[in-house]
């Protein structure tokens, strides 16, 4: 029985590694897809705001520069996803807005896993179209306490 459990655990661990590699590959491809779609538009920058706490987190807003050009975010692009079943990447027609969100969530998971837990975190992603860079500004929240105790004897 222990042997079966160990084999099952090892197989699951291997599948997790394969899926993580496929997921990271999909995220890298999707960044290229995003920048390609944005580069043929008038959009020069995209800011994605996120906020999370108490075991919940979400994208709050996606804003584009110049303002009013956000209709491009509804255009369908050939995004890449990683399937759990066979850990392969596949292409799917997806609104650009959703691909941007997926890339941001993947970046948060990669750099700050658990960003939505406890006091959580907030921040912004900035897509700079001209330089084809994605920058994460991350603000982690934490609760701090400071304890102090003093004791004296009657002599000191």
For residue 106 the two structure tokens come to 């993947």
For residue 61 the two structure tokens come to 């807003």
For residue 146, is it within any domain?
Answer: no
Overall number of domains in the chain: 1
pLDDT, residue 1, reads 63
For residue 148, is it within any domain?
Answer: no
pLDDT, residue 155, reads 84
For residue 144, is it within any domain?
Answer: no
* Domain span including residue 124: 1-139
Residue 2 in this model has a pLDDT that exceeds 80: no
Whole-model pTM: value is 0.84
Q: What is the DSSP string of 102-132?
A: HHHHHHHHHHHTTTTSTT-EEEEEEEETTTT
pLDDT, residue 143, reads 87
For residue 156, is it within any domain?
Answer: no
Q: What is the mean pLDDT of the chain?
A: 92
Q: How many helices (H) and strands (E) does the chain have?
A: 2, 6
For residue 151, is it within any domain?
Answer: no
Return the half-sphere exposure (C-beta side, CA atoms, 13 A cut-off) of residue 82.
21
Q: In the structure, what pLDDT confidence band is assigned to residue 144 with cuts at 50, 70 and 90?
A: confident
Sheet containing 133-140: order of strands = 56-65, 45-53, 121-128, 133-140
């Amino acid at each position: 029985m222990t042997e079966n459990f160990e084999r099952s655990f090892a197989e699951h661990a291997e599948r997790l590694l394969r899926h993580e590699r496929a997921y990271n590959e999909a995220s890298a491809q999707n960044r290229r897809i995003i920048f390609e779609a944005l580069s043929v538009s008038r959009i020069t920058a995209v800011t994605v705001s996120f906020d999370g706490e108490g075991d919940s987190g979400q994208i709050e807003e996606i804003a584009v520069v110049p303002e009013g050009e956000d209709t491009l975010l509804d255009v369908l692009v050939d995004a890449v996803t990683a399937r759990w079943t066979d850990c392969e990447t596949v292409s799917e027609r997806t609104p650009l807005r959703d691909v941007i969100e997926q890339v941001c969530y993947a970046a948060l998971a990669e750099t700050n896993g658990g960003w939505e837990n406890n006091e959580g975190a907030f921040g912004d992603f900035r897509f700079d179209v001209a330089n084809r860079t994605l920058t994460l500004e991350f603000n982690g929240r934490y609760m701090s306490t400071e304890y102090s105790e003093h004791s004296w004897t009657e002599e000191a």
